[in-house]
Amino acid sequence: MRLILLGPPGAGKGTQAKILVDAFGIPQLSTGDILRNAIADQTTLGLEAKAIMDRGDLVSDSVVNGIVSERLDAEDCKPGFILDGFPRTIAQAEALDRMMAEKGIKLDAVIELKADADELVRRVIQRAKDSNRPDDNPDVIRKRLGVYESSTAPLVDYYGQQGLVKAVDGMMPVEEVTSAIRSALGS
Ligand code: AMP
C-alpha cells in the first residue's frame, strides 16, 4: 500500500498516519518530522530549515525531494509507505512521480482530508499547548493555511486527474475518520 495523506495543517494527517502504520504495517514518512529531527540534531539541514519552518514557509523542493528519495530506498519502505506532508507543491508531486517511475513503483491512493479553516486554527492552537512546536501559533498557522491553499491544494486536481483522490471528512472523530479512510481504500 503506497499512500499520500493530503490536507491542510491540523486536518489530522499525522494522527491518521500513525494509526494506519499499525493497521497496515508500513512506515509513515513525515517530511515535517524528519525536518524537526534535523533541527533537534542541529544538522546543516536543520539549521537551514529552522527559520523557514518557524515562519510557516515551505522548505525548498530540492531539499525535501532529496529527503524523500533517500527515504524511499530504505528497506522498510519496500512493502509500502504513508507519505504525510509530502508532496506539498506540484513540483514535488512531479518529482515523486519521476522517483517512483525510476523505482518501478506506483501510488495506490491519495487521501484528501477535508477540514474547515476555523476548526483547523482551533485544533492547531490546542495542539500548540502540548507540542512545543514554534510553528503552532495563531499567526503562523494562518500563514501555513494560506501556503496550503496556494501551493498544496492544487495537488487535489493533479492527483484527481490520475484518478487517485479519495476525499474524507477530517472533521469527524478520529476513529470515524480512520474507518472512512479504510473503507475508501477497500481495506
Ligand atoms: P508538517 O509537520 O508537515 O506540518 O510540516 C511542518 C513544516 O515543515 C512546514 O510548515 C514546512 O515548513 C516544512 N515542511 C514539511 N514538509 C514539507 C514539504 N513537503 N515541503 C516543504 N516544506 C515542508
* CB 7 less than 6 A from any atom of ligand 1: no
Inter-helix orientation angle 31-40/61-72, to 10°: 100
pLDDT attached to residue 37: 96
Reported residue count of the chain is: 187
pLDDT tens, residue by residue, 41-72: 999 999 999 999 999 999 999 999 999 999 99
Which is nearest to 108 in space by CA: 186, 9, 53, 41? Answer: 186
pLDDT tens, residue by residue, 101-131: 999 999 999 999 999 888 888 888 887 777 7
Distance CA 123, CA 173 (A): 13
In the residue annotation, 98 being an active-site residue is answered as no
Q: Is the pLDDT of residue 170 over 80?
A: yes
Distance CA 131, CA 122 (A): 14
In the residue annotation, 133 being an active-site residue is answered as yes
Atom of ligand 1 nearest to the CA of 144: 10
Active-site residue among 127, 143, 166, 182?
127
Atom of ligand 1 nearest to the CA of 31: 16
